[in-house]
Amino acid sequence: MKKLTLACLALFAGQTLFGQVSGNINYDSGNINYQNKIVYPDNNINVGMPSSSDIVISVKGLANVKADTYVAIFSVTQVGKTTEEVNDLIDNRISKPLAEIKYKKNVETYVDMISFVPVYEMEAEKKIFSRKTYNEVPKGFELKKNIHIKYTDPAQLNDIITILSKNEIYDLVRVDYFSENLENIKKELMNRAKTVVQEKTKNYETLLGETSANAEKGASDAYKIMLPVEMYKSYEAYNSSNSLDLRKPTYIQRAEKSTTLYYQPIIDKEFDFVINPTIVEPVIQVMYEIKVLIHKEKKQPQNKEYILITPNGDMKNLNLGK
């Protein structure tokens, strides 16, 4: 009896979103990679393997989706000696640029209150015959707010940054990407995958010389979405001198090297099909995987019949213990 177990497995590598913008969130020192080495994130969809299987057909698809809406988040911090002062200062810094930004087409703004806390300093307590003591005393207040700006044209971000910087607002925390077409993209991925599954099934049937029309089948599938803010990698390029004789006691003071970020999308080489394969700017990447299980029918052994012909020419069936 022929038996064939086939499994088609693929790995994902890469990621994506629009406008080469990541925001300062990626400058967290704990995330900086100081080696010029690409480290791909975990992009596996993790579709569970069906239980026992004779044939497993796996199909993976990738769609690169351009965002149609963006939300940039800027952080603003203000300190002042009194609550009135700190509120007036931060309101002036925020209200002036927002009034100008609101005149832009398809732009919405929202100010998010983050924290409002007192700030302390150390003051020495004067004593003549005892050790000097330091006490914390309030010296003012610190107020933090975030500005959320929604826009539809990636080119608008440069104008927004220019306007905010005139009021000492520089900290671009992150940029989020949104698309209203994701549900349609998911349906398209599923339909394309269904066609590929049918093609692979026919290939297996041709290879085995059997049909799976009446075979028991099962399937499992899953989606995974990767956003551009998740897909930036750190990069440090430099060439240090090796001309010194390090066998002698030597102190070397290295120059500070510049570390930057670059956008690393999901690599599409491991997919069965890709929708919108060519990308220039960061995109939202939607992955889909489906696994189909086909239980092959076990051939039942044929019952052999034994007949005894007696000397008289009579025929009798013999039961030899099946």
Reported as a pLDDT band with limits 50, 70 and 90, residue 95 is very high
Reported as a pLDDT band with limits 50, 70 and 90, residue 269 is confident
Structure tokens at 24: 């300062």
Neighbours of 126 (CB within 10 A): 7
Q: How far is CA 267 from CA 9, 41, 123, 224, 236, in A?
A: 16, 11, 58, 15, 22
pLDDT of residue 1: 38
- Residues 176-184: what's their mean pLDDT? 94
Which residues make Cβ contacts (< 8 Å) with residue 156, sequence separation at least 6?
104, 107
Q: Which residue has the higher pLDDT, 105 or 134?
A: 105
C-alpha 172/C-alpha 218 separation (Å) is 48
- Residues 189-215: what's their mean pLDDT? 87
For the ranges 21-30, 47-56, 262-271, 289-298, the one whose mean pLDDT is highest: 262-271
Q: Which residue has the higher pLDDT, 313 or 4?
A: 313
- Residues 288-293: what's their mean pLDDT? 92
Asked whether residue 37 carries a pLDDT value surpassing 70, the answer given is no
Domains of the chain: 13-66+180-238+257-295 (no CATH), 69-178 (3.30.70.2970)
C-alpha 19/C-alpha 283 separation (Å) is 8
Asked whether residue 11 carries a pLDDT value surpassing 50, the answer given is no
Neighbouring-strand partners of residue 307: 317
Tokens 């603003």 correspond to 76
- Buried (b) or exposed (e) across 243-261, using 16+ Cβ within 10 A? eeeeeeeeeeeeeeeeeeb
C-alpha 255/C-alpha 266 separation (Å) is 34
Which of 129-138, 198-207, 277-286 has the weakest average pLDDT? Answer: 129-138
- Residues 85-111: what's their mean pLDDT? 92
Which residues make Cβ contacts (< 8 Å) with residue 2, sequence separation at least 6?
208
Q: Which residue has the higher pLDDT, 237 or 191?
A: 191
C-alpha 194/C-alpha 191 separation (Å) is 5
- Residues 116-137: what's their mean pLDDT? 71
Reported as a pLDDT band with limits 50, 70 and 90, residue 72 is very high
pLDDT of residue 30: 46
| pLDDT, the chain, mean | 79
